[in-house]
Structure 1
Amino acid sequence: MRSRAREWLVIGGSLLWSMLIWAADPLPSDAPAPAAQTPVELKVANRSIMVFRASLLGETPEFRVKRAKAVITEALDSTDDLSVSIDPIQSSYLVLLGSKRAFIVTPKDVDELEYGSVQQAAEGAANKLHQVVGETQEARSVRFIVQALIGCAVATALYLGLLWGIYFIRRKMLKALPEIMTRHPHALKVGETEVVDVHYFYPLIRRLLWMLRWVLVLLLSYEWLGFVLSRFPYTRPWGESLNSYLLNVTGYLFEGIIGAIPGLGIALAIFFIARGGVSFSQRLLKRMAAPGTLSWLNHETLQPTTRLTSLAIWLFALAMAYPYLPGAGTDAFKGLSVLIGLMISLGASSVVGQAAAGLILTYTRTLRPGEFVRIGEHEGTVTELGMFTTRIRTGLGEVLTIPNSMITSTVTKNYSRAVQGAGYVVDTTVTIGYDTPWRQVEGLLLEAAKRTPGILEIPPAQVFQIALSDFYPEYRLVAQAIPTQARPRAELLTMLHANIQDVFNEYGVQIMSPHYMFDPLQAKRVPKEQWFAAPAQHRNDT
C-alpha cells in the first residue's frame, strides 16, 4: 500500500508540473523575447550532471542549480530508494531520484550540437546522476576504500619498479655503448671513410636515450596518476578526464597517420616519377650534347642545362604533390608557405639577377675555366664559373670572387680566346721619344720578347704603334705565352719588363719619356742614315 501511494503521489506531482509548465512555457506572439540567461553547471560530488541555460517558472538557472543540489543532497543522505528515472511532461522531462523530483530538463536547456534532443539530454543527466548515487555508496563503504588503497599501493609499487627499470636499462646501455661503437664502426664505410664517427655519435645516442627516458617517465607518471585518481569516487572524474584525454590524443594521432597515408602515397609516387624524369632528361641531354647535334649544347653548357632541367622537374613535382602532403591544408602550413614566399620575394631581386647573369655568361661562352681574362681592374685565370659568382686567380696568388652581374655590366678582356691553341696573350706598353728610330724600338721590343722564357715564338710577337702623342709615340708589344709552364702572368710580365730594360740599356736607348716645357734648341728627329740602327732589321721601307 505504501509503494502504491508513493506511485500515485509521483503521478499527481507530474501532472501538476505538466499543467504549470504548459501554462508558463508558451509566450504570446507579440511578447518580447526573454533576456539571455547565463548557463550554470550542476555539479554533484565533483561530477558534472547538467547545464541549465534557461529560467523555469521564474527560477533562474542559478536558483535551479541550488534547488537541485539541495534535493539531491537530501536524497543521498536518506536511506530510501535511490533509483533514478525520467518522466516526460509535455516537451520537458522530469529527472526523479527515488520519489523526489531532482530537476527538470527543458528544451531551452538543451544544446542540440551536444545532445541532439531533450530526451537524450535527460537520459544523459539521469545516467550521470545514477553514477553519482553509486559513487556516493562506494565512498561510504569502508571495504571499498580499503580495496582502493590497496590498488593504489600496488600501482605505486609497480610504477616505482618500472622507473627503476628504466634507469637501470639506461645505465647498462650507456656502459655498453662505447664498447659496441668501437667494435662495429668499421662496418659502415664509403671508400676508406667511416660513416660513423664515435666522437660525435656517442653524445647523440646519449641525448636520444635521455629523451627516451623522460618520455617513458612522463607517460608512466601520467598513467599512474590517472589510475590512482580513478580509484576514489570524488577524484574519479579527474582520472577519467586524464585517461580520455590521452585516448583522444592517441586516437587523433592514429587517425591523422592513417588519413595521411593515401595522400603521402600519391606524393611519393609523384616524386618517384620526377626522379625517373630527371634521369631520363640527363641521359637525353647527354646524347644531345654530342658534336653536330645542337650548337648551343656542348660539354660546357651540358652541366648547367642538366641542373636547370632537373630543378624545373622537381619544382613541378613539388607543386603537384603539395596538396597531397600531410598538413597541407592547415593554417600552420599555409602560414609557413606565405613566410617562405615572402622571404623569396624579398631576396629574389639580387638572387635572380645573379643567376640570370650566370646563365648569360654560360650560354654566351664569355668565360671558360682556364682562360686568362681581365674584368674591370682585375685580371687572372678563371678557376670556377658558377651560377652566382666567378672565381679568378691572379698572378699574385690571390683568388677573387666576382659577382656575375658585375661581369655582365663591365668590359671583359679575354687574353686566351684569340690565341693559337691553348695559352693567353701577354702585352705591355712603352713610350719612347721621337728622336729614337721606331724601327730600332720595334727591334728592341722583339729582342726582349725573344729572351723571355715562356713567350711563344710561333706565332711571333708583334709591335704596334698605338698612339702618336705630343711628346712621344706609344709602342705595344703583344705576344702569346705558353700556358703549360707553371708561371703566372705577373711573373712572366716581370721577366719581360726586366729584359726590355736590359736590351734598351745594351743599345743605349733611353726609356724615359720626354716632356717639354718649352721648345728644344734642336729638333727631335731621326736622320735617315740612322733609321736602321741595331737591332732594327733592314727593310725597303721609305
Structure 2
Amino acid sequence: MLRSHIITAKGIPSGVWSRLLLPLVAGLIGLGIALGGLPGLAQSPAEPPTLAEVESPAAVTLGDQTLFTIQSPQIASSPEARARRISDRLTATANNQSIPVEAIALSDTEFGTAIYAEDSLIMVVDDEDVVGTGLTPRTMATQHLAVIQREMQRYREERRADYLSRAAAIALVCTLGLGLAILVLANVMPQFYRWLDRQQDRWMPNLRIQTVELLTAAQLTILVQVITKVLHFVLVLALVLFYLSFVLSLFPQTRALGQGVWGHFGGAVGAVWNGFIGYLPNLFSIAIIVTIAASLLRLARWLSANIRRGRLNIAGFYPEWALPTYRLVQFLLVAITFALVFPYLPGAESPAFQGVSIFFGLLVSLGAGGVILSIVAGFILVYTRAFRAGDRIKFGDIEGFVEEKSLFVTRLRTLENVLVSVPNAALLTGNIANYSALIREQQIPIIVTTTVTLGYDLPWPLVHTTLIAAAAATAHILKEPRPEVWQTALDDFYVSYQLRAATMQPQMLEKIYSELHQNLQDHCNRAGIEIMSPHYRALRDGSQSTQPASYLPETYQPPGWNFSPGWPSAGDAAPPQNTDTP
C-alpha cells in the first residue's frame, strides 16, 4: 500500500517539516516588519519563473537509454545530481527481478505526484518540473511512468540468457564474415594488380595531349594501382567500422560504445581535418622555408660538382675541398632550416615537446663529445690537405694507402692488404708522412735510398759507378734527376755509401727496393766488389772468395793461409812435433 507522505533526505516526514518551518518563517517576517520592513515587501510580487530562467535540464537514464529530462533540482544541489539519483534508483529497481514492472505506479502527495515501485520512491514530479511545458504534474508523471515501464521491460529482456546467447551467435557469424571478406580481398587484390601489369599495353595507352606525353602506360598503371590500394584500404576500414558498430550494439553493456563508433571515427577525422585546416598558415610558412633551403642546397650541389670536375675554378679553393664543403654547407643549412621551422611545428610550444628537445640536447652534449671531436678533426684534415684517397701515407707504425675518408675515421689499406680504421682525432694529433702529395701536386719525385758499407781497399769512383749503374738498371727509377751516391760516413772498418735515386711510383716502393737490391748484388759481383760484413773481412786472411763462382775467372785459386811470417806456406811440410816425454 502506498504511503501518503514523502520521506525527505533526512528521513523526517514532510508534515513535521511543515509544523517546524511555518512558525519559524512567520516569526522572521514579523521581526522584519518590526525593524522597518523587509526590502522585498515593498517590491511588486515576483513573476513566476519562465523556462529561460530554469536551470539546464539533466537526462535520466536506464542502461544506455535516455528516458526523459528534468529541470528542477528540488532538494538536490543541481538537476544533474537529482537525475543521477533517479537513474540509480531506476537501475536498482530494474535489477531487482522480484519487483514486477506493473508494481511501478503513481501516488499524489502534497508535494506533487510521486512514482513508486512498491515501497521504494523513485521520483516526485512537482510544479517546478512542469514550468514552461503546459502540463500538470500528474500528466507529466503519467508520461514518465509509461516510459519507465516500457524501458525497464526492455532492460530486463536484453539481459536474459537467451537474448545474450542469440547476440553472441550473431556476433560470431559477423566475425567469421568479416574475416572471410578481408581474406578474400587480400587474395583478390594482388591478382588484380598482376592483371593490370599484363594488360597495361593493351588497355592502358599513353596519356597524351597532342604531342606532349603526360603519362606512359606504365605510369598510368601505377596510378591505377595506387588508387585501387586506397579504395581497398577504405573498404576494409568501412567493413571493420560497420562490424564494430553492429556487434557492439547487440549487447546492452556495449551498446553505447557501438552506437558511438561512427561518431568517434567522424569526430577523429573531423578533428584531424580541422587541425589540418588550422595548421595551413604554419604549413605554408614551413613550405616557403623548406623551398628556399632546397634551392640553396641545389645551388651548393651544382657549385660542388663543377668545382670537382674542374669546370669552375676559384683561386685558393682546391677541388678536393668541394665535396666536404658541400657536406658542411648541407649540415648548416639543414640545422638552420630546422631552427626556423621548429616554432611552426605542431606542439612546439607544449612543455612536453620542449622537455624532449632539452633532454635530447643534453644527451648529445654529454655523449657525443668524442664524435664531434672526430668530425671537427675530419674537416681539419680535409682543409689542411694532409692526404686524399689513394695516397700512400705513414702514421706511427701504420703504413699503407688511404681507402676512405669519412667524418669519423680514415681507413688505410696496409701493404699486407689489411684494412685499418684510424680515428680522425688521432690523425690530427699525430705526424703523417705522405709519399704521394708532392708527386701529385708539384710533380716532384720521391727519393729511394739504400746504404752499402764497403772496405777502404775499394776505390770510391769504382763504387760510385757500380751503384749508379745498378740504380739505372732498375725499373721505375728516373733517368732525371740522375741517381747519385753520397758517402755518409767513414767508420773504423768501412765506408758508408748511400745510393739515392728518384721515382714517381710511390705505390711500388717495395718492388723497386727489391729490384734495386738485386741489381746492386749483380753489378757489385761483376765489378769484383765483395759485399760482406766489415768485421768478417777484418778477421779474414785468405780463403775462398765470397763472390758467386760464375763471377770468378776460370784460373781463380783460393789464396793460402798466412798467419805469420815464420810459418811455412801451404806447400811446405808441417813443422816437426815435440816427441819428448816428460
TM-score (norm 1): 0.59
One-letter identity of the residue aligned with 1:488: M
Cα distance in 2 for residues equivalent to 1:508 and 1:184: 87
Question: What aligned pairs does 1:83-94 form with structure 2 within 5 A after superposition?
Answer: none
Contact between 1:383 and 1:392, CA under 8 Å: does it hold in 2? yes
Instruction: Kindly provide the CA deviation profile for residues 240-274 of structure 1, in whole angstroms up to 9, marking residues without a partner as x.
Output: 56565555544444444444444333223211111
Letter paired with 1:266: S
Once the 2 structures are TM-superposed, how far is the Cα of residue 449 of structure 1 from its aligned partner?
1.4
Contact 2:396 2:431 in 1 (8 A): yes
In the other structure, the counterpart of 2:297 is 278
Identity over aligned pairs, percent: 26
Q: Which residue of 1 aligns with 2:246?
A: 224
- Distance, in Å, in 2 between the alignment partners of 1:437 and 1:288 is 58
The residue aligned with 2:423 is 403
Residues 9-408 of structure 1: pairs in structure 2 closer than 5 A: 45-46=62-63, 69=89, 73=93, 78=103, 80=105, 102=123, 134=147, 136-140=149-153, 163-178=179-194, 218-229=240-251, 236-240=255-259, 245-283=264-302, 295-329=315-349, 333-334=353-354, 337-338=357-358, 340-408=360-428
**AA aligned opposite 1:312:** L
**What is the letter of the counterpart of residue 463 of structure 1?**
V
Q: Whole-Å Cα distance in 1 between the matches of residues 112 and 448 of structure 2? A: 109
SS at match of 1:300: helix
For the residue of structure 1 that corresponds to 2:479, the secondary structure is coil
Q: 1:141 to 1:311 in 2, by over 3 A?
A: closer
Give the direction of change, closer, same or farther, for the CA distance of 1:76–1:407 in structure 2 (3 Å limit).
same
Superposed CA offset, 1:351-377 (max 9, x none): 222222222222122213444333322
Cα gap change, 1:164 to 1:372, in 2 (>3 Å): closer
Match of 1:190 in 2: none
Distance 1:323 1:72, change over 3 A: same
Task: State the one-letter code of the partner of 1:429.
Answer: T
- Which has more radius of gyration? 2
Contact kept? 1:226, 1:243, Cα under 8 Å? no
In 1: Cα distance, 2:273 partner to 2:416 partner: 65
Deviations 1:168-209 (A, max 9, x none): 222222444555567879x9xxxxxxx99xxxxxxxxxx999
Check the 8 A contact 2:289/2:341 in 1, yes or no.
yes
In structure 2, what is the equivalent of residue 455 of structure 1? 477
Provide, for residues 277-330 of structure 1, a one-character-per-residue CA deviation record: whole Å limited to 9, x for no partner: 223344567789989975541212122112211211111001111222234455
Q: Aligned partners of 1:246, 1:67: CA distance in 2, in Å?
A: 29
1:316–1:155 CA distance, 2 compared to 1 (3 A): same
SS at match of 2:446: strand
Q: In 2, are the aligned partners of 1:417 and 1:424 still within 8 Å (CA)?
A: no
SS in 2 for 1:368: coil
Superposition deviation, residue 348 in structure 1:
2.3
Change (3 A) 1:444 1:224: farther
CA displacement at 1:419 relative to structure 2: 4.6
AA aligned opposite 1:270: I
Output aligned runs, 1:423-502, within 5 Å. 424-435=445-456, 436-466=458-488, 472-483=494-505, 488-502=508-522
> 2:145, 2:340 → 1: CA distance?
56
1:345 positional shift: 2.9
Quote how far apart the aligned CAs of 1:346 are: 4.3
Residues 260 and 174 (structure 1), Cα distance of their counterparts in 2 relative to 1, 3 Å cut: same
Task: Letter of the 2:182 partner, please give it.
Answer: I
Distance 1:407 1:343 in 2: 27
Q: CA deviation at 1:400?
A: 4.2
Could you tell me which amino acid in structure 2 is paired with residue 358 of structure 1? Answer: G
Query: Aligned pair in 2 of structure 1 residues 209, 434: CA closer, same or farther (>3 Å)?
Result: farther
> Residue 332 and residue 212 in structure 1: after superposition, are their counterparts in 2 closer, same or farther (change >3 A)?
farther
Maintained 8 Å contact 1:432/1:473:
yes
| SS of structure 2 residue aligned to 1:460 | coil
CA contact (8 A) 1:45 1:132 kept: no
Task: Give the TM-score of the pair, scaled to structure 2.
Answer: 0.56
Residues 388 and 404, structure 1, Cα contact 8 Å, conserved in 2: yes
> Residue deviations 1:119-159, cap 9 Å, x none?
xxxxxxxx9xx9997465145369x98xx999999999777
Gaps of 5+ in 1: 7-11, 24-41, 84-93, 105-126, 188-194, 197-206, 523-542
Describe the shift of the 1:66–1:180 C-alpha distance in structure 2 as closer, same or farther (beyond 3 A): closer
CA-to-partner distance for each residue in 1:378-412, whole Å, 9 max, x for gaps? 33344444433334445554554433333322222
Q: Aligned partners of 1:312, 1:132: CA distance in 2, in Å? A: 76
Do the aligned residues in 1 keep the contact of 2:245 with 2:259 (CA within 8 Å)?
A: no
- For 1:180 and 1:371, how far apart are their aligned partners in 2? 54
In the alignment, residue 424 of structure 2 is paired with which amino acid? N
Task: Tell me the secondary structure at the aligned position of residue 181 of structure 2.
Answer: helix
Asked whether the 8 Å contact 1:395–1:491 carries over to 2, the reply is no
Distance 2:485 2:154 in 1: 120
Structure 2, unpaired ranges of 5+ = 6-12, 25-58, 70-74, 94-98, 126-139, 205-217, 220-228, 542-582
The alignment covers a number of residue pairs equal to 426
| CA RMSD, 1 decimal | 5.7
Aligned counterpart, 1:107: none
